């Protein structure tokens, strides 16, 4: 009953997180593969949803509504990356809107079914949470680098009062 393609996909996604085969099979029971076209919305900011996703092929854009600038694209996610961690943590509303950029193939996770699994099987639950934690750690590091504003010195600026340091640039 479990789609072998789903298991293969999960195995590839979880490869670095050392998730055991038995746990992968249990997770596969809650997953299915979906294909979306350009612009299709995975979930909206503010929505409480029971679905999370892993990107297999293509790109998903995250955006936040930031008045007066409107919808602002924050991050684009690619193959192997997790989209939406709130369902895993049972943590209320989504904090961003996710939409497909071009055609996208995803692994959709039914988070309600998955949470039942996590509650009842501690070992599997531990492995899955470890997997999610490592995905979030990678996301955090990437976010920090965005926050560091590494190209800050190159930002176009309005001319300021001259403050001559006199050094070679």
Partner 1 sequence: MTPEAPPESPRLLPAEHLQRLLDELLARGYTVIGPTVSQEAIVYDRITSVAALPRGWVDAQEPGKYRLEAKPDAGYFTHVVGPHSWKQYLFPPRAVLGTSDRTADGWTFQAAEDDGVAYAFLGVRACELAAIDVQDRVFLQPRYIDPMYAARRSRALFIAVNCTRAASTCFCVSMRTGPHCETGFDLALTELPRGFVIETGSERGAEILASLPTREVTEADLRDAEERRQLAVVQQTRSLPLDELHGLMLSRLQHPRWDEVSERCLSCTNCTQVCPTCFCSSVRDVTDLDGEHVERERSWDSCFNFDFSYMNGGVVRNTVRARYRQWLTHKLGTWFDQFDICGCVGCGRCVTWCPVGIDLTEEVAALRMEAPP
Partner 2 sequence: MSTVVARNPWLAHRATVESVCAEYYGVNTYFLRIDDDSAIGAYQCAPGQFNMLYLPGVGEAAISVSGWDHRRAQWLHTVRTAGAVTRTLEQLGVGAPLAVRGPFGRGWPLDEATGRDLVFVAGGIGLAPLRPAIVEALARRDQFGGLTLIYGARTPDTLLYEREFAAWEHQGLKIQTIVDRATRGWLGNVGVVTLLVDRLRPFHAERTVLFACGPEVMMRFVAKSVLARGVPASRLWLAMERNMHCAAGFCGHCQLGPAFICKDGPVLRYDAIAPYLEVDAL
Q: 25 and 70 in contact (C-beta within 8 Å)?
A: no
Which 85-144 residues touch partner 2, going by CB under 8 A? 101, 141-142
How far apart CA 1 and CA 161 sit, in angstroms, is 70
Nearer to partner 1, 1 or 150 (CB): 150
Query: In terms of CB distance, is 52 or 96 closer to partner 2?
Result: 96
Query: Please, which of residues 138-167 interact with partner 1 by CB under 8 A?
Result: 153, 165, 167
Distance set, CA 73 to CA 81, 96, 98 (Å): 17, 10, 10
Pick between residue 70 and residue 159 the one whose CB is nearest to partner 1.
Answer: 159
155 binds partner 2 (CB under 8 A): yes
- Cα Dmax for the chain: 72
Distance of CA 122 to the CA centre of its chain: 24
- Answer for which of 67, 70, 92, 122 binds partner 2 (CB under 8 A) is 70
Contacting residue, 4, 156, 160, 161, with partner 2 by CB under 8 A: 156
Cβ atoms within 10 Å, residue 19: 19
Q: State both tokens at 49.
A: 């949803």
3-state secondary structure of 107: strand
- The site for partner 1 (CB under 8 A) is made up of 153, 165, 167, 169
Q: Which residues bind partner 2 (CB under 8 A)?
A: 59, 61, 69-70, 72-76, 78-81, 101, 141-142, 145-146, 148-157, 162, 164-169
């Amino acid at each position: 009953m479990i789609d072998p393609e789903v298991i293969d996909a999960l195995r590839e996604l979880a490869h670095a997180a050392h998730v055991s085969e038995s746990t992968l099979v249990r997770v596969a029971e809650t997953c299915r593969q979906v294909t979306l076209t350009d612009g299709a919305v995975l979930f909206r900011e503010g929505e409480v949803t029971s679905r999370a996703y892993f990107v297999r092929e293509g790109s998903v854009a995250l955006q936040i509504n930031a008045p007066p600038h409107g919808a602002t694209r924050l991050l684009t996610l690619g193959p192997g990356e997790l989209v939406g961690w709130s369902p895993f943590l049972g943590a209320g509303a989504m904090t961003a809107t996710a939409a497909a950029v071009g055609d996208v193939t995803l692994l959709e996770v039914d988070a309600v079914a998955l949470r039942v699994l996590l509650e009842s099987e501690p070992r599997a639950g531990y492995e899955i949470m470890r997997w999610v934690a490592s995905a979030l750690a990678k996301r955090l590091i990437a976010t920090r680098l965005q926050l560091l504003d590494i190209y800050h010195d190159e930002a176009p600026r309005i001319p300021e009062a001259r403050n001559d340091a006199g050094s070679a640039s």
